[in-house]
Amino acid sequence: MMLMVDMGNSALKWATLNQNQLSPQQRILYKKDGLDSILTQVWLTLEVPWQGIFVSNVAGLLNANILSDWTERHWGLEVTFVKTSSNQCGVKNGYTNPEQLGVDRWLALIGAHCLATGKLCVIDCGTAITVDVLSIDGQHQGGLIIPGMATMYHALANNTYALEQPELLNNNWDEVINSVQQTFPQDRENLSLAHKTNAGIRLGALYAAVGLIEYVMHTLNKQENSTTTLLTGGSVPLLKPFLQKSYQYVPDLVLQGLKNIVNQT
């Protein structure tokens, strides 16, 4: 049994790989000063992954060291951190400097290429919203990056004096979603307008994300009708009611890519 890990900027995701089958992805939020305790909380009950621990990490060297130290102390195992390459699993990196493409985006492209056929668009909705396009033959054609909904929300709250309010600054995005999801408009044909600043920021961030995703899907499909869009990331469930174009939702797309790289080695 192996452990596949996707360590993002705000959430830790993992699944076990056994006989080439991934278990359902697990996900938990963490703060930069609390990763060790989070790992103790969620991983001590796992079966020891004697066959290896493979990690996609975009959360920096400090968190990588914390994770490595934890697995060494508790399991006596070293971690393998996967890196972006120029050509792997049938996918060719489109960046001028291939290593500058985030490993999570790279793995999501590989996962998409292994799960779907034809021209692909991969959209990851997390701390950032990233868009990457893959040609039929696996050539990465480039991408886009904007702040994710939570990042938009907190950037405005942190950088606008009049908005420095505890209810804006102290909430993580999952708490924001849970507290206001039922108040978001479910009728996507009509525009909902807020009557409080807090709600206005939330709705603005939501509509900004929806606008980008819908524009990308519309433009790609206008150019070539056979483009398949795959969505992943923690904010997708909130976006779902507002997306009118067809797409595939793959929550563990990064781990799917990680699985394919591990199988190739």
131, 14 in Cβ contact below 8 A?
no
CA distances from 137 to 27, 168, 205, 227 (A): 32, 45, 35, 13
Cα distances from 106 to residues 27, 114, 143, 198, 232, in angstroms, run 20, 13, 11, 35, 13
Residue 69 falls in the annotated catalytic set:
no
Within-domain flag for 259: no
3-state secondary structure labels for all residues of the chain: CEEEEEECCCEEEEEEEECCEECCCEEEECCCCCHHHHHHHHHCCCCCCCCCEEEEECCCHHHHHHHHHHHHHHHCCCEEECCCCCEECCEECCCCCHHHCCHHHHHHHHHHHHHCCCCEEEEEECCEEEEEEECCCCEEEEEEEEECHHHHHHHHHHHCHHHCCHHHHCCCHHHHHHHHHHHCCCCCCCCCCCCCHHHHHHHHHHHHHHHHHHHHHHHHHHHCCCCEEEEECCCHHHHHHHCCCCCEECCCHHHHHHHHHHHHC
Beta-strand relationship, 228-232 and 140-147: unpaired
* pLDDT of 169: 42
Give the count of alpha carbons within 13 A of 139, CB side only: 5
Find where tokens 């290593």 sit.
99
Residue with tokens 């596949």: 4
Q: What's the CA gap between 259 and 210, in Å, rounded?
A: 30
Q: Domain holding 166: CATH number?
A: 3.30.420.40
Q: Is residue 146 part of a domain?
A: yes
Cα–Cα distance, 255 to 219 (Å, whole number) = 28
pLDDT score for 186: 56
Q: Which residues of the chain have pLDDT under 50?
A: 166, 168-171, 179-180
Of 81, 100, 135, the position where a domain reaches its end is 81
pLDDT the model gives residue 185: 53
Q: Do both 132 and 199 map to the same domain? A: yes
* pLDDT per position as a tens digit, 78-94: 999 999 999 999 999 99
Last residue of a domain, one of 55, 81, 107: 81
Q: Which domain holds residue 157?
A: 118-252
Pairing of strands 248-249, 2-7: unpaired
Gap between the Cα atoms of 73 and 65, Å rounded: 12
Assess whether 230 and 127 both reside in one domain. Answer: yes
At residue 103, the pLDDT reads 98
Residue 164 CA from chain centroid, whole number: 28
Asked if 22 contacts 107 with a C-beta cutoff of 8 angstroms, the reply is no
Query: Based on the domain organization, do 127 and 246 belong to the same domain?
Result: yes
Q: In this structure, are 123 and 246 located in the same domain?
A: yes
Total number of domains in the chain? 2
> 124 with 240, same domain?
yes
For position 164, what pLDDT does the model report? 52
Of the candidates 6, 33, 69, 104, the residue annotated as catalytic is 104
Please give the model's pTM, rounded to 2 decimal places. Answer: 0.90
In a domain, 60, yes or no: yes
59 and 134 inside one domain? no
